[in-house]
Chains A and B, each alone.
Chain A
Amino acid sequence: MTDDRPDAAAADASSTSDVSGSARERGPAQFSDDDNDDGDGSHLPDDPDAVRHRTPSDVFADATLVSGEPIVVVEDMNKYFGTFHALHDINLKVVKGEVVVVIGPSGSGKSTLIRCINRLEEHDSGHITVDGTELTHDVRNIAAIRRETGMVFQSFNLFPHLTVLDNITLAPRQVRKMSRADAETAAMALLEKVRILEQANKYPGQLSGGQQQRVAIARALAMQPKIMLFDEPTSALDPEMINEVLDTMKALAETGMTMIVVTHEMGFAREVADRVVFMADGSIVEVGTPEHFFSNPQESRTRQFLAQIL
Chain B
Amino acid sequence: MTSTTWRVWLRRNLFRNLRDGIITLLTAFIAGWILWKVLRFVLITGRWEIVERNLALFMYGRYPREDLWRITLALCVAAFVTTMLFSMWSRADRAGVKRSPRTMLGEIGRRWWPLIVLGIVLLSFVTTVGPWIAACAAISCLFAGALLGRALSSAPVRIRGSAVAVTMLGIVVLLWFLADGLGWDDWGGLMLSLYLAAAGMVLSFPLGVLLAIGRQSSMPIIRSLSIAAIEITRGVPLVVLIILSSEGLGFFFPQDVLPGKVVRVIVVLTIFTAAYVAEIVRGGLQSVPNGQSEAAAALGLSPTRITAFIVLPQALGNVIPALVGQFISLFKDTTLVSIIGLLDVISVSESIRKQSDFKGQGLVAETLVFAGLLFWVGSSTLSRESRRMERRLGVGER
Q: Which residue of A lies closest to B290 (CB)?
A: A157
Interface string of B298-314 (1 = CB under 8 A from A): 11111001000110011
Interface residues of B in 278-310 (CB under 8 A from A): 289, 291-292, 294-302, 305, 309-310
Q: Is A79 an interface residue (CB 8 A)?
A: no
Instruction: Check if A171 sits within 8 Å of B300, measured CB to CB.
Output: yes
9 closest A-B pairs (Cβ-Cβ)? A157-B295, A171-B299, A151-B298, A157-B291, A146-B300, A175-B300, A203-B396, A147-B300, A205-B398
Instruction: Check if A146 sits within 8 Å of B396, measured CB to CB.
Output: no
Q: Is A61 an interface residue (CB 8 A)?
A: no
Interface string of B121-160 (1 = CB under 8 A from A): 0000000000000000000000000000000000000000
Interface residues of A in 174-213 (CB under 8 A from B): 174-175, 203, 205-206
Q: Is A53 an interface residue (CB 8 A)?
A: no
- B350 CB → nearest A CB, Å: 47
Instruction: Give the residue of A143, A160, A206, A220 whose beta carbon is less than 8 angstroms from that of B302.
Output: A143
Q: Provide the main secondary structure of the chain B interface.
A: helix
Q: Is A42 an interface residue (CB 8 A)?
A: no
CA of A147 to CA of B393, assembled, Å: 31
Instruction: Give the residue of B294, B313, B314, B393 whose beta carbon is less than 8 angstroms from that of A120.
Output: B294
Instruction: Check if A161 sits within 8 Å of B299, measured CB to CB.
Output: no
- B296 CB → nearest A CB, Å: 8
Interface string of A145-186 (1 = CB under 8 A from B): 011011101010111111000000011001100000000000
Given known contacts A153-B295, A159-B310, A162-B396, what 8 new A-B pairs fall within 8 Å (CB)? A120-B294, A157-B292, A157-B294, A161-B317, A170-B299, A203-B396, A205-B396, A219-B299
Q: Is B357 an interface residue (CB 8 A)?
A: no
CA of A45 to CA of B3, assembled, Å: 81
CA of A171 to CA of B292, assembled, Å: 13
Complex contacts, B299 vs chain A, CB 8 Å: 146, 150, 170-171, 175, 219-220, 223
CA of A175 to CA of B395, assembled, Å: 28
CA of A118 to CA of B291, assembled, Å: 14
17 A-B residue pairs with Cβ-Cβ distance under 8 Å, sorted by A, are A146-B297, A146-B298, A147-B300, A157-B289, A159-B292, A161-B317, A161-B393, A161-B396, A162-B396, A170-B299, A171-B296, A171-B301, A174-B309, A175-B300, A175-B301, A205-B396, A205-B398
Instruction: Check if A153 sits within 8 Å of B294, measured CB to CB.
Output: yes
Complex contacts, A143 vs chain B, CB 8 Å: 300, 302
Complex contacts, B297 vs chain A, CB 8 Å: 120, 146
A-side interface residues, number (CB < 8 Å): 27
Instruction: Check if A206 sits within 8 Å of B294, measured CB to CB.
Output: no
Instruction: Check if B305 sits within 8 Å of A205, measured CB to CB.
Output: no
Instruction: Check if A223 sits within 8 Å of B396, measured CB to CB.
Output: no
Q: Is B67 an interface residue (CB 8 A)?
A: no
CA of A104 to CA of B300, assembled, Å: 29
Interface residues of A in 94-148 (CB under 8 A from B): 118, 120, 143, 146-147
Q: Is B66 an interface residue (CB 8 A)?
A: no
> Most B CB atoms within 10 A — which of A155, A157, A220?
A157
CA of A186 to CA of B313, assembled, Å: 25
Q: Is B397 an interface residue (CB 8 A)?
A: yes
Q: Which residue of A lies closest to B308 (CB)?
A: A174
Instruction: Give the residue of A153, A170, A203, A220 whose beta carbon is less than 8 angstroms from that of B395.
Output: A203
- A90 CB → nearest B CB, Å: 20
